[in-house]
Amino acid sequence: MTTPHPSVAPPADSAGWLRTGHTRHEAAFRALCKLAIALPLCLLVVLGGSLVVEAWPRLGASFVTSYPSRFAESAGILPALVGTALLMGLTALFAIPLGVGAAVYLEEYAQKTRWSALLELNITTLAGVPSILYGLLGLELFVRVMDLGRSLVAGAATLALLLLPMLITVSREALRTVPRELREACFALGADRAATLRRVVLPMCMPGVLTGIILSLSRAIGETAPLITIGALGYVAFLPTSLGSAFTALPIQIFNWVSRPQAAFRANAAAAIVVLLVLMLLMNGVALWLRKRLQKRITG
């Protein structure tokens, strides 16, 4: 496409030929590339702007402290917000031990056997399973077989399974940053693996693991499809009283409002989206801050 094609023999005016660049092609291509990057980003900025404009009238204290309502103007997201907070807490409770534990097992314990190869393959496979299918698993396993009902705990368990592949991957990456020499130093001091892990490996990779956990949770906070499948409610006019309570969550509330034809509810959806995005940004911010702080503590 752009390769120069001079005749094989050197041109008569070789000095002049040397000076002719092919920069025009390259400049055009660079512009095209920049456009390709700018287009989606601009789209997002414009859409984000319209979103905020649409949401603005609804964003106020009462929006966060009210229950949903048939009247868009007085509806709020209190149950959704509380539901999301509880859901995330429970999900973290289930997912962190499993995810970090599996990562530690794979990095520190598993020898290269068929079993560990199977585990690897399995994690790759799980990462590619659409989230709605985790919802079907949760619906059968947690809601029906374990009879947890359409409850907070069933929702959290489902989200925890969904998070596992990502958590395992980020935790393994963090574990791999701990140099092998330090493990050897521990072993040479007569430590077993458990002590090596607790005293040296885990303290060292903690910033990475924590950051990974928070980033994973910030992904989970926006997950909608599996919660819909296990039957989170779109209209909840009460706060959850126990782990077995029916619940709603922010993304479910958003979906519920988006699905209504009235424009006033669209504005509510926009406002709820702004809240959700702010929560996500906060979590990301905390993750970055934590990583910086903990890293400083280690090297300082």
Partner 1 sequence: MPPTPHPGEGDAHEALDPDAVSSRPPPRVRPVVERTTPTAGTEAAPVDKMRAEGLRAWFGAHEALHGITLPVRANAVTAIIGPSGCGKSTFVRCCNRMHEVVPGARVAGSVLLGDTDVYDRRVNPVRLRRLVGMVFQKPNPFPTMSIRDNVLAGLRLNGLRPSDPAAVVERALRQAALWDEVKDVLPRSGASLSGGQQQRLCIARALALEPEVLLMDEPCSALDPVATAKIEELLHELRTRYCIVIVTHNMQQAARVADYTAFLFQGDLVEYDRTDVLFTRPRERRTEDYITGRFG
Partner 2 sequence: MALDPLSDVRAAALASTHAPDLRAPRSLRERAVGALLAGAAAVSVLTTIGIVVVLVREAASFFAEISPARFLLDGEWTPLFADKHFGIWPLVAGTLLTTGIAIAVALPLGLLAAIYLSELASDRVRRWVKPALELLAGVPTVVYGYLALSFITPGLQHVVPGLAGFNALGAGIAMGVMILPLIASLSEDALYAVPAALREGAYALGATKLGAVFRVVVPAAASGIGAAAILGVARAVGETMIVAIAAGQQPRLTLDPRVPVETMTAYIAQVSLGDTPHGTLEYRTIFAVGLALFLLTLALNVLSHRLRRRLKGAAA
Give the other-Cβ count within 10 Å of 11's Cβ: 12
With beta carbons less than 8 A apart as the criterion, state whether 127 and 166 touch: yes
The item of partner 2, partner 1, none sharing an interface with residue 184, based on CB under 5 to 8 Å by kind, is partner 1
CA–CA separation, 87 and 161 (whole Å): 13
With beta carbons less than 8 A apart as the criterion, state whether 244 and 151 touch: yes
Report if residue 188 touches partner 1, rule: CB under 8 A. yes
> What is the nearest approach in angstroms of partner 2 to the Cβ of residue 210?
18
Chain centroid to CA 69: how far?
30
CA–CA separation, 223 and 216 (whole Å): 11
Report if residue 223 touches partner 2, rule: CB under 8 A. yes
> What is the nearest approach in angstroms of partner 2 to the Cβ of residue 170?
14
Report if residue 224 touches partner 2, rule: CB under 8 A. yes
DSSP 177: T
Report if residue 17 touches partner 2, rule: CB under 8 A. no
Report if residue 42 touches partner 2, rule: CB under 8 A. no
Choices 66-74, 83-91, 178-186, 213-221 (CB under 8 A): range interacting with partner 2: 213-221
With beta carbons less than 8 A apart as the criterion, state whether 255 and 233 touch: no
Report if residue 219 touches partner 2, rule: CB under 8 A. yes
CA–CA separation, 186 and 200 (whole Å): 8
> What is the nearest approach in angstroms of partner 1 to the Cβ of residue 166?
19
Using CB under 8 A as the binding rule, the residues of this chain from 84 to 103 that contact partner 2 are 97-102
CA–CA separation, 52 and 60 (whole Å): 13
Using CB under 8 A as the binding rule, the residues of this chain from 149 to 168 that contact partner 2 are 161, 164-165, 168
Report if residue 4 touches partner 2, rule: CB under 8 A. yes
> What is the nearest approach in angstroms of partner 1 to the Cβ of residue 80?
40
Member of 93, 117, 118, 282 binding partner 2 (CB under 8 A): 118
Member of 270, 271, 275, 287 binding partner 2 (CB under 8 A): 270
Report if residue 47 touches partner 1, rule: CB under 8 A. no
Choices 71-79, 180-188, 219-227, 236-244 (CB under 8 A): range interacting with partner 2: 219-227
Q: Phi and psi of 288, rounded to 5°?
A: -65, -45
Choices 61-69, 71-79, 123-131, 176-184 (CB under 8 A): range interacting with partner 2: 123-131
Query: Under 8 Å CB-to-CB from 206, ≥6 apart: which residues?
Result: 294
Report if residue 206 touches partner 2, rule: CB under 8 A. no
With beta carbons less than 8 A apart as the criterion, state whether 155 and 230 touch: yes
**281-288: which pairs have CB atoms within 8 A and are 24 or more residues apart?**
283/214, 283/215, 283/217, 283/218, 283/221, 284/214, 284/215, 284/218, 286/214, 287/210, 287/211, 287/214, 287/215, 287/218, 288/211
Member of 52, 64, 137, 246 binding partner 2 (CB under 8 A): 137
Nearer to partner 2, 133 or 298 (CB): 133
> What is the nearest approach in angstroms of partner 2 to the Cβ of residue 19?
14
Report if residue 114 touches partner 1, rule: CB under 8 A. no
